[in-house]
Structure 1
Amino acid sequence: MGCCASSLIEEGTHEEEKEQQQTTQKKLSHQFTPPPSSGLDPPTNEASFFSEFSYSYLKAATNNFSSDNIVSESGEKAPNIVYKGRLQNRQWIAVKKFTKMAWPDPKQFSEEACGVGKLRHNRLANLIGYCCDGDERLLVAEYMPNDTLAKHLFHFPTVQVAASLGDFSDSIGENQTIEWAMRLRVAFYIAEALDYCHSEDHSLYHDLNAYRVLFDEHGDPRLSCFGLMKNSRDGKSYSTNLAYMPPEYIKNERVTPESVIYSFGTVLLDLLSGKHIPPSHALDMIRGKNINLLMDSHLEGNFSTEEATVVFGLASQSLQYEPRERPSTKDIVAMLAPLQSKPDIPSHVMLRISKNDSKNDGAPSTPQRPLSPMGEACSRTDLTAIHQILVTMHYRDDEGTNELSFQEWTQQMRDMLEARKRGDFAFRDKDFKTAIDCYSQFIDGGTMVSPTVFARRSLCYLFSDQPDAALLDAMQAQCVYPDWPIAFYMQSVALAKLNMHKDAADMLNEAAGFEVKRQRGGKGS
């Protein structure tokens, strides 16, 4: 297959393949700059083969990279922004614009883009071009109009927020979540995409998560091609926090085919639970046979326990600590294939979306995210406002995290509670160094676990200009209380302080989603 062929080449002679390679390479030797528009569509599809676009053409296609055309989940705060654009033949495209000098070597960028551009599969949002113009580095892919798996799974209620009060509208019903058969289809299609990439010697996929799974105009899930290329200067293959990274990547920061399987396991957990649960927490529950507690409550009574058990088993295998113990992509496809039901039901029907709406001229925009006062404060990284909210909340969200018998109220327990009390006074008075010391004494005691203490110490670290320690404490709070919005909010602030703005925006969105679910359940936040 030629470097820039637009689709899988039909069987033919070696000479025919060679001739096609040479023809396509000639097309690549010049930048793709269409002639001035004559008012007619071009005679051939501009994206029918892999092309090198000029920067000026992509600038025009995206309306001068207008902020109105941003479709990446993190908006303008992301280091590498994705825009929707339109070719002269009216085809929608997704354009990923890298930061200046993200790829300092133009040859390396061109070679990697051309390699990914060879791939063509209906389970991928395929790469159809790139731009390497001066310092500019851009990728051009097929546009997927029906949002991400993360949006459908975590943020399915379209909630309008009263800006001044942070109240949530209750206009959309719980039935907007993804049904069980569709979740199995998503898992299967993405497994097929990974297996295809593996067969084409592209087995490394960077930062596989629910935001990388996109839905096309038919509602079918596809894997973003952008994850097949790594930003050479950002030094990271994973934007998610440490709790979701493969153990071997934390050790040596190298992505392997087995690392991709681990990340696929985290996506399976997302599909099963409807939440973004740390793998270690989920595995403990699976080993304890608490599978029903992990299942998305919105699916209650509407899924097969036998099928769920199989998928949980596959997730557990994929998340094994030792890379060699994880299944291959072929094994995963083979396990998921028999679980596919409703083959005659189109994906857009199961997603409850309109096919016609997905092709409208405006194309869908990023939905509004609901933000409470805590969310607003965190979005501004307003530490003073966050401090006031945490002081007001006191320990109301710790209820149920510690159930102690009378015999357990030892002198050590009283000492720990006294340390926490001293920490609370120091925290209230903004003596953050003393608060850190007192809260550390409480945490190190190990008898009681308090997500609020971790959140408070996290803020103390932020005030003390220690964002790394703050992030770890916020992650610990999440481990204690997996769907607690405050834990995600504190992670978002710490990530913002670490200049990881895409991650911060993702965490802010997740926190807002959990707040919506709590509000609907009648709990305060």
Structure 2
Amino acid sequence: MGAGCSKLCLCWCPSNSKPNLHDLPDNENEKEESWVGFTEFTLDQLRSATSSFSPDNIVSEHGEKAPNVVYKGRTEDDRLVAVKRFNKSAWPDPRQFLEEARAVGQLRNERLANLVGCCCEGEERLLVAEFMPNETLSKHLFHWESQPMKWAMRLRVALYLAQALEYCSSKGRALYHDLNAYRVLFDQDGNPRLSCFGLMKNSRDGRSYSTNLAFTPPEYLRTGRITRESVIYSFGTLLLDLLSGKHIPPSHALDLIRGKNFLMLVDSCLEGHISNDDGTEIVRLASRCLQYEPRERPNAKSLVTALAPLQKETSVPSQVLLGIPDEITPSKEAVPLTPFGEACSRRDLTSIYEILETVGYKDDEDVANELSFQVWTDQIQETLNSKKQGDSAFHARDFSKAIECYTQFIDGGTMVSPTVYARRCFCYLMINMVQEALGDAMQAQSVSPTWPIAFYLQAVALFSLGMDHDAEESLKDATTLETRKHRN
């Protein structure tokens, strides 16, 4: 969006915020990852990567029926990987193992912990995947230490997992073996990803489901085979996990739902943070997934469609929702801050208010040209009056009244002022409506892309949301723009 709107312009300026991932077209979602190919490693390479398969590098291990161990490793080109080492009995036919690994290795999607290589030498069968450093869904959902998983994050997990299944299905890999909370991993940004290991047939380990039989699809109990509908059944059990914070057998959950006692399914940690509508919709989706007859279950695409509108706090990064500390890269140079920047970094709202009062409306002059022709109507006059009333309330520090008046001005839809957005942003900060404040700061930037104050206020909101790294970047941008402005 250019800066071609006047301070009173007959146009509407859309938000300049980043689109949600689930709103992007498929080709955007399938952007190329840093691993662009599939590598057949030698055993020596993987032995070196894992420090000779050191016990210190073990990430997880499974029992005797499906003996395999996952190690953390680092390749020669300094990339972190997860190396899964099977017992030969899991894959006695080396050709079958290589064919299966190469096929799964062709998949590349940001919703997957992608398979990047394998090794098949002698008795050894190893798979190599992208390393996910932030534990499993099971850890964050069932065994949390500092805080329970937020509802917004649980909804995001459900959507991203459905998107992963939809992608795999579109690529002819609809079968997923033993989908459970241990198969969902979190990457360095806190985004949930589906482990690629479950896409391997691994049919010779004698068991496709290692979990309790109470959680397996009915048709698997009858035939010993899984279908794409079986995967949807397992997705339903994961929806119950996310809602309840516990691993509840589907039969018990369905009994509660039929008895209209589904509120007993809701995690007590979510009390006050989940609406009845959200809970009811997740229960409805889970019930559909857990239908006894496979043909009555939804497909992955319809799950994505149902889950997308439920998403909360979509502008908040997964890292923040998950409570992962944001590590600031020490190599970045500190930016010398202006007085306004210093006030923003301290979140000193008193100083910020005084600076905004000093700035006044003169910054609106930067928003290009005035209207060459203005059709004055009662509606436009009323909108102007709303702005004036908002200004008076802002000067009087009546922030709730200012929000009301500025909202009337903005909702009028015929005029745009970046300073109105900035002042309403500040008012929202004063009453601790931080998400709304961030939205207004971004709108101010959309209207006036080179206005430093828009970036400064974004920084304050981001600091308040715990997004310190992004806040520092906004401060850096604001300082650069302000320095350039004074130089000119």
TM-score, normalised via structure 2 length: 0.59
- 1:268 is the counterpart of 2:239: yes
- 1:308 is the counterpart of 2:279: yes
Contact kept? 1:262, 1:320, Cα under 8 Å: yes
Map of 1:89 onto structure 2 = 77
Contact kept? 2:89, 2:205, Cα under 8 Å: no
Higher Cα radius of gyration: 2
Which stretch shows the higher mean deviation, 347-356 or 331-340? 347-356
Equivalent position amino acid for 1:54 in 2: T
Supply the distance in 2 between the matched residues of 1:48 and 1:58 (Cα, whole angstroms). 19
Alignment of 1:336-485 (within 5 A): 336-356=307-327
- 1:70 is the counterpart of 2:70: no
After superposition, the Cα gap between the structure-2 partners of 1:73 and 1:270, relative to the gap in structure 1 and judged at 3 Å, is: farther
Map of 1:207 onto structure 2 = 178
Among residues 95, 114, 129, which one is paired with 1:126 in the alignment? Answer: 114
Map of 1:489 onto structure 2 = none
Supply the distance in 2 between the matched residues of 1:211 and 1:119 (Cα, whole angstroms). 21
SS state at 2:59 partner: coil
After superposition, the Cα gap between the structure-2 partners of 1:240 and 1:147, relative to the gap in structure 1 and judged at 3 Å, is: same
Among residues 116, 119, 125, which one is paired with 1:137 in the alignment? Answer: 125
Supply the distance in 2 between the matched residues of 1:118 and 1:185 (Cα, whole angstroms). 26
Equivalent position amino acid for 1:189 in 2: Y
What value does the CA root-mean-square deviation take over the aligned residues?
2.1
Consecutive unaligned residues in structure 1, runs of 5 or more? 1-7, 11-44, 158-171, 360-525
SS state at 1:138 partner: strand
Equivalent position amino acid for 1:215 in 2: F
SS state at 2:193 partner: strand
SS state at 1:315 partner: helix
Equivalent position amino acid for 1:314 in 2: L
Contact kept? 1:217, 1:358, Cα under 8 Å: no
Supply the distance in 1 between the matched residues of 2:258 and 2:57 (Cα, whole angstroms). 45
After superposition, the Cα gap between the structure-2 partners of 1:75 and 1:249, relative to the gap in structure 1 and judged at 3 Å, is: closer
Contact kept? 1:149, 1:215, Cα under 8 Å: yes
SS state at 1:72 partner: strand
After superposition, the Cα gap between the structure-2 partners of 1:217 and 1:292, relative to the gap in structure 1 and judged at 3 Å, is: same
Supply the distance in 2 between the matched residues of 1:85 and 1:59 (Cα, whole angstroms). 9
Alignment of 1:167-182 (within 5 A): 172=146, 176-182=147-153
Instruction: Give CA deviations for 1:76-133 in whole Å, capped at 9, x if unaligned.
Output: 9971100000012221000000012321111100000000001000000000000011
Map of 1:191 onto structure 2 = 162
Compute the displacement of 1:356 (Å).
2.7
Equivalent position amino acid for 1:248 in 2: E
- 1:155 is the counterpart of 2:143: yes
SS state at 1:333 partner: helix
SS state at 2:315 partner: coil
Alignment of 1:40-119 (within 5 A): 47-72=35-60, 74=62, 79-119=67-107
- 1:286 is the counterpart of 2:274: no
Contact kept? 1:97, 1:137, Cα under 8 Å: yes
Equivalent position amino acid for 1:197 in 2: C
SS state at 1:63 partner: coil
Contact kept? 2:220, 2:226, Cα under 8 Å: yes
SS state at 1:101 partner: helix
RCO comparison, higher one (Cα < 8 Å, 6+): 2
Supply the distance in 2 between the matched residues of 1:84 and 1:75 (Cα, whole angstroms). 19
Moved over 4 A (4+): 73-78
- 1:323 is the counterpart of 2:266: no
Supply the distance in 2 between the matched residues of 1:341 and 1:210 (Cα, whole angstroms). 21
Instruction: Give CA deviations for 1:7-64 in whole Å, capped at 9, x if unaligned.
Output: x999xxxxxxxxxxxxxxxxxxxxxxxxxxxxxxxxxx7x441010000100000000
TM-score, normalised via structure 1 length: 0.55
Supply the distance in 1 between the matched residues of 2:62 and 2:325 (Cα, whole angstroms). 25
Map of 1:384 onto structure 2 = none
SS state at 1:89 partner: coil
Contact kept? 2:61, 2:69, Cα under 8 Å: no
Supply the distance in 1 between the matched residues of 2:56 and 2:65 (Cα, whole angstroms). 14
